[in-house]
Structure 1
Amino acid sequence: MRVEVINTGSELLLGQVINTNVSHLGQKLLSLGLKIERQTAVPDGGIIKTILAEAIKRSDIIIITGGLGPTPDDISKEMTAELLALELEEDVQILEKIRKRIESNGSKMRNINSKQAMIPSGAVALTNNNGTAPGIYLKQSISGRKFHIFLLPGPPRELNEMFTDSVEPILKKIIIHNDGSLIECKNLFFSGLGESELASRIDDVLDLNDPQVEYGYCIKPGGIIFRCIGENSAVLDAEKRVTESLKDYYLGDGINSIQEFIVKTLLLMRETVSVAESCTGGLISSLITDVPGASGVFNIGHITYSNAFKNRVLDVPNSLLQAHGAVSREVVISMAEGSLMKSHSNHAIAVTGIAGPSGGCPNKPVGTVFIGLASKGEETLVLKKIFETDRISFKEKVSMCALSLLRQRLCSLS
């Protein structure tokens, strides 16, 4: 079934609002075996009618977001009714619900609000528990061609719940009566290979011209997602061949970042991690704790930016700092092992480096970083890297490199 999304609102095209609705809709539809074939963003006004007229000629399901509010520029419903020659009728129950909601907030119901209770004849009103604008579902037929239209409110808080509670059940019924096959989607996360290298290796395994499957790549923190969408058996066959061929780099289906893989793996292993950061200033800790469930594996983040606190918090000997400097192999080992000992974690990451733009010297230029990983019962690992970039990018690259080092160790131990 062909699915099309029309996002309305001049604010989207003026850059005043980021369009997060299409992302949410894409994910929810994919979970049902449907894929958005086309997405259009249009300003407020009569162009909505023009775009909808084009959409109903080619798509089976059309989802329109926005334009259901009380102001004069909210005309998605009016344009739809006009195109389909449907009368707008006032729904007394919806009008009263709108009145109660507005007055419960201490505001006064105004005439302008009543337009939200106008529903196209034959339409099904979709309940909005988070706002005054009901959604609308229309099942229509033109010249024997059937199609379905959903009009949903623009605010994500309203749209998201309405989609789950009202739209999904309708879509499931549509799918049951649909003769066409549903699609399968696999998002395979790989880490440790660059995009070009991964693509070259996959090209050796798969026929990328297979019309049954659509392939694509998406760079994510610490890795790359290889996406397969298409006919069920063809997608599953592609998944099997790719993951077997690249098993040393494969982290899983549905994984979106290397830190997500780390948290999930540590939870399965019932192990913990701590972090000792200097040049990244807490970014590694932040990335790990962004993942739901991190509280079960993350013990503590030591941000020891100065030499004094490397010594005071992590017991890095002053003699090491004086002899080798803070940015050195010896110091990063001491930081990692100090964090491991003090936190009683199973693993401890440590980083120390020169983010720039100043502070470098001939043997330690700006961008130099030492990354350490200490684990109980294992040899402490150290990497030396030089990232010649700006401060923000430096921190990001160091963080990903440190997490990748931990990933490799976890894979070798699990």
Structure 2
Amino acid sequence: MKNVRVELINTGTEILLGSIVNTNAAWLGNRLFEAGFRVERETVVPDGYAISEAMRESARRADVVIVSGGLGPTSDDVTREALCDVCGVDMHRDEHVAEGLRNYFKRRGISIAECNFKQAMVPDGAAVLENPNGTAPGLVMPASERLPMFILLPGPPSELKPMVERSVMPLLESMVDGDIPRLRVFRLVGIGESDLQDLVDDSLHQVQGLEVAYCARIGEVDVRLVGNEVALKQGEARLLTLAGAYVLRPLGATLERAVVLYLKGLGLKAATAESCTGGLIAKRITDVPGSSGVFEFGWVTYADRAKTEMLGVPAEVLEEHGAVSEPVVKAMAEGALERSGADVAVAVSGFAGPDGGTPEKPAGTVWFAWAFRNGGTVTEMMFYPRDRESFRQMVSQKALIGMLAARKPQAVTE
């Protein structure tokens, strides 16, 4: 395939201020890759004439420059003017676009302001991309001997995405020549990024034409493989041979979806008893469509009294050992199992911090218990000295991983 260098430029002061997340770049990067294009660079600039400099810089490197934003009717929308400046052309009023603007506002029973006709101004030599979902048409300036192709798109995702699918992708796909590289993502849990690399990296890099990358998040690691189908099949086989025990199934599934599908496949029900996570484990499970087939009961027993009244944890056990202890979390899991009639129940109790804890049990200490019907109860203590949000995410991650150890009751031996 011919290497077509693509760069993205996103305009919007609100992106740089952190007021909104730049979802356009993420969506465009993924959509372009599906079509065989790799985005080589992304630039974000504020509203105004910084766009001119960004377009000039990209023009020195890229074959295609895609710009989103700055096509509206207000004074800070100057992407059209920037394109004229970079290409050395003038603008003209496109009466077909102007008529479309009049009809757009008329259909909505709104009077059109004169400033809206700014959107009917088209750089000389550019083609117009219709926008049935808004007022700002897109623009395509063909490549020349000294400049790349420029594609200008409206900023709102509800306008940008349909325009890309309808008009931009057919244009770009005509430039594709040869095999298109594909992406395959494998999600692994129970192993750290460094240990995973030591385990699989040398073998994966022996596959000709295979690109390998790792992305670590809280409690899990993604392995990204990029290549043609032959390389991907070889890479997948090597990864599953060396690290298959850590790979979530179905391939690419989130942990919570993998848990729900795993339990559903075994015909098992699950329950949760949470203290420090405040219901996060149950939320992650119920975020999965179809989770009602495996999940019916969940308790958030933050106070000691709730643990006793709702789960039957003996008050004397709480008094003797404290809420963050093996006996208490074991009683929580077994109480949830008994009261719910589930096949597996997970319980957690810990100090999320930053306050709380003791010298013997500092903030970040957490106890887990997984109770399995006819299969006993497994407990484990972990220490996650992190911020409160990361602690809760780590705990929910570990709790869900443990549920993948559930088995059909008849398969459990005494």
TM-score, normalised on structure 2? 0.86
Q: How does 1:14-413 map to 2 (within 5 A)?
A: 14-102=17-105, 107-121=110-124, 123-142=126-145, 148-172=149-173, 174-175=174-175, 178-207=176-205, 212-252=209-249, 255=252, 257-361=254-358, 363-409=360-406
For residues 90 and 367 of structure 1, the distance between their equivalents in structure 2, rounded to whole angstroms, comes to: 64
What amino acid sits opposite 1:370 in the alignment? W
Distance 1:14 1:388 in 2: 31
1:221·1:257 contact (CA, 8 Å) conserved in 2? no
Distance 1:43 1:327, change over 3 A: closer
Structure 1, 384-393 or 111-120: larger mean CA deviation: 384-393
Distance 1:300 1:268 in 2: 19
Q: What whole-Å deviation, never above 9, does each CA across 1:370-403 have from its counterpart, x for those lacking one?
A: 1111233322221112333443333222222212
* Alpha-carbon separation, structure 2, partners of 1:367 and 1:163: 47
CA distance in 2, matches of 1:399, 1:293: 20
In the alignment, the residues of structure 1 paired with residue 400 and residue 8 of structure 2 have an alpha-carbon distance, to the nearest angstrom, of 37
Q: Secondary structure at the match of 1:18?
A: coil
2:9 counterpart of 1:6:
yes
Q: CA deviation at 1:86?
A: 4.8
Q: TM-score, normalised by structure 1?
A: 0.86
Aligned-partner Cα distance in 2 for 1:81–1:410:
66
Encode CA deviations 1:205-227: one digit per residue, 9 max, x unaligned: 2337x783332211134310111
What residue ranges of structure 2 are gaps of 5+ in the alignment? Answer: none
Letter in 2 for 1:154: G
Match of 1:237, SS state, is: helix
Q: CA RMSD in A?
A: 3.1
Q: 1:254, 1:74 → 2: CA distance?
A: 43
- Return the alpha-carbon distance in structure 1 between the equivalents of residues 374 and 308 of structure 2: 24
Q: Provide structure 1 residue ranges, at least 5 long, that are not aligned to the other structure.
A: none
Aligned in 2, Cα 1:167/1:391: closer, same or farther, shift over 3 Å?
same
Cα distance in 1, alignment partners of residues 332 and 97 from structure 2 = 63
Cα distance change of structure 1 residues 353 and 49 upon mapping to structure 2, 3 Å threshold: closer
**What is the CA–CA distance in structure 2 between the aligned matches of 1:267 and 1:31, rounded to whole Å?**
32
**Cα offset for 1:325?**
3.2
Deviation at 1:114, TM superposition (A): 0.4
Amino acid at match of 1:134: P
CA 1:272 to 1:62, structure 2 compared with 1: closer, same or farther past 3 Å? Answer: farther
Cα pair distance change 1:311/1:22, threshold 3 Å: same
**Comparing 101-110 with 76-85, which one deviates more in the overlay?**
101-110
Percent identity among equivalent residues? 40
Aligned length: 407
